[in-house]
Amino acid sequence: MKYVFIQLCLTLICFGMNAQNTKVIAHRGYWKKDGSAQNSISALQNAAELKVYGSEFDVWLTGDNRLVVNHDKKFQGHDMEHITFAEAVKVKLGNGESMPTLSEYFSEALDHPELHLILELKSHVSDEREREAVLGIAKLIKAYGVADRTDFIAFSLNAVKEFVKVMPDADVYYLEGDIEPARLKEIGCAGLDYNIHTIKTHPEWIKEAHDLGLKVNVWTVNNREDMEFLIAQGVDFITTDEPQLLMEILEEK
Ligand code: MG
């Protein structure tokens, strides 16, 4: 009986510790708040106000090799790889804000020093353009002094390798979900950032990653059941469109 009680206490303590360890990342910012839009400056501000660990956003290299923040490759009749910088800054998001440049995003982040930035480089048409994008990002990271709180994520393995090469001290995560933790470590990743369905197919990758000293981020987790499952598994980060719900669940633990 005593043994069962001790086991129960240890389980509860472990669950509590796991809950404390799991951090909230707002997917494309906290854009569900009234008046905001995905990947907007206000979505970044809202994420900071909610006091989440981090805010994720997507980056494209324009046709004239400048960096802007947006998700879709085709957006309001433009192709993000062909649009010019001058055209991009004139594009209005759904809430009337202008499409942010990466400089504007970093500049705003300076007002929110506690917030971590999770920068996704979208997959571009060629390895050369991804390299050009990574070099440009590295320059801005240095200029704004945000290296210590910016992590990099990409579906493109080429982009992941470029980030590792150009910024060897940075934490880089791979998104595609088709590479096991041991191989990611060899590539130089800080961890994996995989879809919830991939993690449910390979739940063993969580422990494998942790045993290798890698971190685990899971996207895009928007319901309570999945959030509670992942918290119990001790994942390091959950990326969600519902950061407020996840914050509430973590506070309950
Ligand atoms: Mg993204």
Distance in Å, CA 43 to ligand 1 centroid: 13
Residue 180 has pLDDT above 80, yes or no: yes
List the shell of residues around ion ligand 1, using CB closer than 5 Å. 58, 120
Distance in Å, CA 183 to ligand 1 centroid: 23
Domain ranges within the chain, ordered by starting residue: 22-252
- pTM of this structure: 0.93
* Cα angle value 97/103/108 (rounded, 5°): 65
What mean pLDDT comes out for the span 166-171?
98
Distance in Å, CA 71 to ligand 1 centroid: 7
Fold of 22-252: TIM Barrel (3.20.20)
What mean pLDDT comes out for the span 31-57?
98
Distance in Å, CA 9 to ligand 1 centroid: 39
**Phi and psi at residue 37, to the nearest 5°:** -150, 155
**Phi and psi at residue 55, to the nearest 5°:** -130, 125
Distance in Å, CA 25 to ligand 1 centroid: 11
Residue 9 has pLDDT above 60, yes or no: no
Local confidence band at 4 (pLDDT 50, 70, 90 cut-offs) = low
Neighbouring-strand partners of residue 73? none
The pLDDT of residue 15 is: 52
Q: Quick check: helix, strand or coil at residue 204? A: helix
Which position has the higher pLDDT, 122 or 8?
A: 122
Q: Are 32 and 242 in contact (CB under 8 A)?
A: yes
- Give the model confidence (pLDDT) of 48-80 as tens digits: 999 999 999 999 999 999 999 999 999 999 999
Residue 43 has pLDDT above 60, yes or no: yes
| 165 residue type, one letter | K
Distance in Å, CA 126 to ligand 1 centroid: 19
Beta strands 171-174 and 150-154, pairing class: parallel
Rounded to whole angstroms, the Cα distance separating 139 from 143 reads 6
Q: Are 57 and 119 in contact (CB under 8 A)?
A: yes
Q: Is 83 exposed, middle or buried (0-12, 13-18, 19+ CB in 10 A)?
A: buried
Out of 11-20, 25-34, 130-139, 169-178, pick the least confident: 11-20
The pLDDT of residue 12 is: 53
Which position has the higher pLDDT, 136 or 15?
A: 136
The pLDDT of residue 253 is: 82
Local confidence band at 29 (pLDDT 50, 70, 90 cut-offs) = very high
Distance in Å, CA 104 to ligand 1 centroid: 18
